[in-house]
Amino acid sequence: MKGLLILACLLMFVTMNIALAQDLGGHIPRIYGRLHAYNRGRQHAAYKHHQNGHRDWKHMVEH
């Protein structure tokens, strides 16, 4: 019974999202693309920082 309720909620959520998407039209892909690019940029920066941290640590150990 609980599963049915969850399913109903999910269905409602999805239909609401579809209605919203139709209202907004072409805006969603643009917003999503921008968010995706932002996240990718942040991950890349974090990764570079991580690598630099390792390099500095090795440098310190060698000296």
User: The pTM is what?
Assistant: 0.31
Tally the residues of the chain: 63
What was the pLDDT predicted at 50? 60
SS3 63: coil
Q: What are the C-alpha distances in Å from 61 to residues 12, 49, 54, 55, 58?
A: 58, 19, 11, 10, 5
What was the pLDDT predicted at 54? 60
**Residue 49 C-beta-side C-alpha neighbours within 13 Å:** 6
Give the model confidence (pLDDT) of 3-59 as tens digits. 888 888 888 888 877 777 666 666 666 767 777 777 777 766 666 666 666 666 566
